[in-house]
Amino acid sequence: MTQRSRNLLLLAPAGAWFLVMLVIPLTVVLIFSFGERGAAGGYVPAFTLDQYANLPARWAAFKNTLILAPAGTLASLLIAYPLAYYLAVRADPRWKTVLLVLVIVPFWTSILIRSYAWIFLLGGRGIPALLAAIGIEDVRLINTPFAVLIGIVYGYLPLMVFPIFVNLDRLDKRLLEASSDLGASPWRTFLQVTLPMSLPGIATGCLLVFILLMGEFLIPAILGGGKVFFVGNALVDLFLQSRNWAFGSAVAATLVILMLVTVTAYMRLIRRLGAQREDVALM
């Protein structure tokens, strides 16, 4: 058996899974998006662009997704990076494993249960009641974009922490010592050594969180209370409630295209920053 045959054999299971679970379903969705809704719902074969022309009817869902998904990713990054930095660089090795387990602990409970817990915390008897007790009244948190953002950060924070932690944990500490020996301040060492070296972890964490958030359904449904819709909520409504499979497929296809464009632009930016970092290192 040649090397090429062995490579094909190794790739065959993943390739078959990719074909059956991704390529074929996306192809079906794309075909359905050019069809029409039947009289009793479902799909009727046709070739029309009417479904795409009707996309502005779901503009609110796209707007919420395109605002809160990047905002949630950025908020998760701002919170996760200091935590990952502390765990990788500053934490006592004896406690590092314990602290990492504490980061994982929320995943031991269903996201559904954790989201329902936030309903109480953000509801009238939770944080707003505490604020009212100190004189800050008429504060509404539940069923708002802020509540959805809080749920997003809480739910997806570990997915941002671990890629950054792994990257920082592999950082050669001698580089930090050399920077300090050359007279660089801690802040300058962070900006010129630590942060550039951690870019791969940041890129991975942001991609993990952003891609999942673009299709998020549960958190907006629970903490948004039907007032903050994501595209995922719109798809559930179109496929299961109104049974408009053609329009739902057009919405899904548009979402996939938006994700591909965004992720491609993001990866090009990361590659450019990485190339600039290597150029600076060679100077």
- Tell me how far apart the alpha carbons of residues 89 and 26 are, in angstroms, rounded to a whole number: 43
132-168 residues labelled b (16+ CB within 10 A) or e (exposed): eeeeeeeeebbbbbebbbbbbbbbbbbbbbbbbbbbb
Enumerate domains of the chain plus CATH numbers. Answer: 59-273 (1.10.3720.10)
Which secondary structure element, helix H or strand E, spans residue 125, and what is its range?
none
pLDDT means over runs of 10, the chain (283 residues): 85 92 93 92 92 95 95 96 92 88 86 89 89 87 93 93 93 83 85 87 93 93 90 94 94 94 88 67 51
Res 106: pLDDT: 83
Res 209: pLDDT: 95
Res 281: pLDDT: 54
Task: Find all residues with CB under 8 Å of 122, minimum gap 6, and list them.
Answer: 128, 141, 142, 147, 150, 223
CA dihedral 139, 141, 143, 147 (to 10 degrees): 160
- Number of residues assigned to the chain: 283
Structure tokens at 256: 């996939």
